[in-house]
Structure 1
């Protein structure tokens, strides 16, 4: 458990630093200049955050396999031969290639955090500030401008994105399970031992490991959440003096260096998804002359028929959509009610109660998906074992994990609605229903659609809790199906293409939901969440 804790802290810290190193230059150049189709660029950079973790894991596995460009260039990060093997031998570092892939994958996954927090601040900053600073003695050098202007302005946003990156990397499960199979994080340790934990007089040692790991993880995540909340308050105190259009137009189109940085970031952002898509059509072919790869629909046909799994891709898709809609039907009203209650407490001059409830809604983020799944598993096991026969049991952890995101989306929108708008609708003699619609709901309709789309996307891609509760059977989700297929021996050349076909369907569903969310995101919201 100590080794797992050390590895978890190490990989989460390095992942957070790498997220800043990769994401900050992209956010800087994207926010400072006038880009054509800027909204499309923002959307592409934001996709990684909502992409299912199992799809990301498969994408990065394909980027480092023996058919990849990296392997052709002599960089073998999977089997760790060549230069990577020499590094491991000389440094005495076990599996450096696996660790490097994991932190890069985490940086890819959290890239949108840096873009979403930093880019809007830069895009709305008055250019006159930089001009005035350059006239002062302390602002004549780049270091002086960074120290006295840029860091005070974007520093809280950078640190906030880094702390959230640490939090999400700390609780990563699918990426750790597939990219670093020889190392355990606290999350993967709990998942591995969770199957026998909590059973009376059976494997007491596993129960102790799971309990200690969950407590340590909860304390660390709670501290990270507190830090993130404090940084968000500092970040939200910064406000734009000019519109985004005015700021970026004054600086003009991006120079070549900025273009190269952003376009390189685009290649990085789409590479894992493109790898998963193309792998669904590439099938291994063996003959007397050796092994080759050809293009075929065999993987899709196999996924459609379910020949290599307990159920077909259609059945898994149906299960995933049923869980997603059930999650939406519960999480959206619950999150709406919580956000409305917080706003009502603020209006009625009860800031301490509002703040306490606001923080309480964040607590599920300090309880990872595996911890939630384990809690439900042990709770049902001890109280009502018959619930294991309930088809919709996975909806419970999905609701717990998505309600905080609904609150985070809806609360700012509700705060922006002025009470006088509803009063003006009443003065016009509208019916109570029309008064509520025109004086309130029409202003929060867009964020409600955003919250709905994100809720369904997170439910579709959730893996940790679902993996614990529905590992195999007639109620597998698409995420669990991909994991089950890729866990099979690869003697059958259709195993990997079939898994990638299921991953591609999951990826396309996420794309649709995300772009619906982007379509209804309020104008002037920039890149922010």
Structure 2
């Protein structure tokens, strides 16, 4: 057996195989330890616990609410996002790069910032509240709807669904807009000559529905997935209700302790197993839709297509620009609320502008970690996640691409699914794996200062792999053939045959790693409850959760959220500049 064969298996370098094994192990190890711990504490297997899920307190109510709000969020996202993506992809737009960045901004906004941003919109003094739409206190027309229909807390539900639409609209743009922008225009011209293409309905049925259907299904599936597993938005906008994810977040901190609240450990085991199976089904469906989406049609030059259709009409301009304004409203509300304090007096509530919230946010107090400590923690976790996830993600993506090129399609598909496992577990379940798994079996890990970076790495790795795989597949093999003819080192060969073509996707992956890690909330929420690893997103939640008899609590929380938002945007802008420079 030659040394070359020893260093490679199925054409894949040994170090890449090691990366695949490590990534799969990293995804399976914590949750497996958690399930074993809960099994040991309760004496019931995960499958046995699954049969009792309907008996667990609040589980079925949370499941029904999760289905209802996720379905409503998905339907409204498609209803608004599909025409938005169609118009944005079809016509010429001024400052299109800026508009595209603004449309993608909500998806990389930390969830806790989005939550307090909508809270600022709907609270007294907020924009929607000032317009007479009281979604928080549910007076006026919202109260009338509740009284007339018997629907409890309709305002909370509406606020949650709107927030989910705000968060997930970028998915519709991401999947649908490129298809519209690069569609061969001759298809539309040929259909217009046929009887079935003479009406708008005929063109939608015979062209746009078959072409955009797979992309829309992919975006809708991911929208349903993210809405179903919502945590921070549910916690703040619909406090009277629970999704399965938020229910796990409430129970998970005390699960896995022998002899203590065994019924809680059983409930967590049952609900976690149930949700994990549901998430796996959703991801399998999303993968099938995505493969159909990638095989639908050949693309055409985007710039020429936009020139062909010209600038958008006035109604489309109003529609797209109006959506952009609404996307910015929660973020602007966070900034404004950080300078505004409401005080109750003899003449009712009054508002005044002050820097006191910012001063308190900077100085901190004895009940929370100082701002700079939380910011340092967040940046440390984010850069650790980046330094670990980017090379690992590249190695795994390279392995998957090589296997497909060598004809091992089924093997690549199985490994790809295993590497995506952290997505099927959601952020809270990853945190549960840390708390009920690693920390319960290995309590000495409490002394590890960078423990929260571990779930961050787990959660960002699937996104890095998803970005790197198509980028590697697009590289023409002829570059490797040409580089092999030149006298250069192994590193030089790699750079000229592959590395130079991956700078842009690697920069995009790096920006997503940093943004997602900076704003990660679900896993950190569980981990910090058993330790002292407060990040900036956790600090925002802690301050905003305080009783509001102190009028400066809300401005202080908004100031902290503004800092988190600005730091995240700064990180993204630096990466975008690097991408543009390249």
Is TM (by shorter chain) over 0.5? Answer: yes
Deviation string for 1:69-123 (max 9, x for gaps)?
3223321110111111111111111101100110110111001000111111111
Partner of 2:140: 82
1:134 pairs with 2:196: no
1:500 pairs with 2:558: yes
Contact in 2 for aligned 1:16/1:162 (Cα 8 Å)? yes
Contact in 1 for aligned 2:92/2:312 (Cα 8 Å)? yes
CA distance in 2 between counterparts of 1:110 and 1:343 reads 29
Segment of structure 1 superposing worse, 468-477 or 397-406: 468-477
Contact in 1 for aligned 2:120/2:126 (Cα 8 Å)? yes
Contact in 2 for aligned 1:482/1:502 (Cα 8 Å)? yes
Alignment of 1:105-124 (within 5 A): 105-124=163-182
Tell me which of 363, 373, 382 is aligned to 1:324: 382
**1:239 positional shift:** 3.8
**3-state SS, counterpart of residue 242 of structure 2:** coil
**3-state SS, counterpart of residue 256 of structure 2:** coil
**1:449 positional shift:** 1.4
Tell me which of 507, 518, 521 is aligned to 1:460: 518
Partner of 1:276: 334
Partner of 1:527: none
Contact in 1 for aligned 2:183/2:300 (Cα 8 Å)? yes
**1:397 positional shift:** 0.8
Tell me which of 433, 449, 463 is aligned to 1:375: 433
CA distance in 1 between counterparts of 2:249 and 2:299 reads 48
Deviation string for 1:310-344 (max 9, x for gaps)?
22222111110011111112111221121111122
Partner of 2:223: 165
Cα 1:506/1:117, change in 2 over 3 Å: same
**3-state SS, counterpart of residue 284 of structure 1:** strand
Tell me which of 62, 66, 75 is aligned to 1:8: 66
Deviation string for 1:482-520 (max 9, x for gaps)?
000001112222211111111111111222233344455
Partner of 1:352: 410
1:156 pairs with 2:214: yes
CA distance in 1 between counterparts of 2:301 and 2:355 reads 49
Deviation string for 1:178-207 (max 9, x for gaps)?
111111110111111112211222212111
Deviation string for 1:31-77 (max 9, x for gaps)?
11111111111110001111110000001011111112322332111
Partner of 1:442: 500
Partner of 1:94: 152
**1:299 positional shift:** 1.2
Partner of 2:26: none
Partner of 1:427: 485
Cα 1:289/1:87, change in 2 over 3 Å: closer
CA distance in 2 between counterparts of 1:125 and 1:279 reads 44
Segment of structure 1 superposing worse, 255-264 or 23-32: 23-32
Q: TM-score, normalized by length of structure 1?
A: 0.95
**1:380 positional shift:** 2.7
Partner of 2:101: 43
**3-state SS, counterpart of residue 420 of structure 2:** helix
**3-state SS, counterpart of residue 293 of structure 1:** strand
CA distance in 2 between counterparts of 1:72 and 1:404 reads 42
Tell me which of 343, 349, 362 is aligned to 1:291: 349
Alignment of 1:477-516 (within 5 A): 477-516=535-574
Tell me which of 80, 88, 93 is aligned to 1:22: 80
Unaligned segments of structure 1, at least 5 residues = 524-529
CA distance in 1 between counterparts of 2:441 and 2:309 reads 63
Tell me which of 401, 418, 422 is aligned to 1:364: 422
Segment of structure 1 superposing worse, 447-456 or 345-354: 345-354
**1:284 positional shift:** 2.8
CA distance in 1 between counterparts of 2:488 and 2:580 reads 26
Partner of 2:40: none
Partner of 2:127: 69
Contact in 2 for aligned 1:15/1:104 (Cα 8 Å)? yes
Partner of 2:287: 229
Partner of 2:320: 262
CA distance in 1 between counterparts of 2:296 and 2:330 reads 35
**3-state SS, counterpart of residue 137 of structure 2:** coil
CA distance in 1 between counterparts of 2:147 and 2:85 reads 37
Partner of 2:450: 392
CA distance in 2 between counterparts of 1:466 and 1:36 reads 40
Aligned residues: 523
CA distance in 1 between counterparts of 2:204 and 2:573 reads 35
**1:425 positional shift:** 1.9
Contact in 2 for aligned 1:308/1:485 (Cα 8 Å)? no
CA distance in 2 between counterparts of 1:286 and 1:79 reads 17
CA distance in 1 between counterparts of 2:279 and 2:71 reads 13
**1:457 positional shift:** 0.8
Cα 1:285/1:86, change in 2 over 3 Å: closer
Segment of structure 1 superposing worse, 179-188 or 388-397: 388-397
Q: CA RMSD in A?
A: 1.7
Runs of 4+ in 1 over 6 A off after TM superposition: none
Segment of structure 1 superposing worse, 390-399 or 161-170: 390-399
Cα 1:230/1:520, change in 2 over 3 Å: farther
1:402 pairs with 2:460: yes
1:470 pairs with 2:499: no
Cα 1:213/1:521, change in 2 over 3 Å: farther
CA distance in 1 between counterparts of 2:433 and 2:364 reads 32
Segment of structure 1 superposing worse, 338-347 or 49-58: 338-347
Partner of 2:267: 209
**1:431 positional shift:** 2.8
Contact in 1 for aligned 2:520/2:537 (Cα 8 Å)? yes
Deviation string for 1:232-268 (max 9, x for gaps)?
1111113444211111101111101100110111011
Partner of 1:31: 89
